[in-house]
Amino acid sequence: MLRVELGDWSAMAPSLELIRREVFVIEQRVPEEMEWDADDATGVHALALIDECPVGCGRLLPDAHIGRIAVRAPFRLRGVGRAVMLALLDAARRRSMPHVELHAQTHALRFYERLGFVAEGPVFDEAGLPHRRMSRVLAS
Ligand X SMILES: CC(C)(COP(=O)(O)OP(=O)(O)OC[C@H]1O[C@@H](n2cnc3c(N)ncnc32)[C@H](O)[C@@H]1OP(=O)(O)O)[C@@H](O)C(=O)NCCC(=O)NCCS
Task: Please identify, among the stretches 3-11, 32-40, 80-88, 119-127, the one whose residues bind ligand X according to the rule CB under 6 A.
Answer: 80-88
Q: Is 91 in the site for ligand X (CB under 6 A)?
A: no
**Are 7 and 44 in contact, with CB atoms under 8 Å apart?**
yes
| DSSP states along 48-73 | EEETTEEEEEEEE-TTSEEEEEEE-G
What's the min distance (Å) between Cβ of 71 and ligand X? 4
Pick the closer one to ligand X by CB: 1 or 77: 77
Pairing of strands 65-71, 44-50: unpaired
Range 11-70, binding ligand X (CB under 6 A): 23, 69-70
Using CB under 6 A as the criterion, which residues of the chain lie in contact with ligand X when the complex forms? 23, 69-71, 76-82, 104-105, 107-108, 110-111, 114
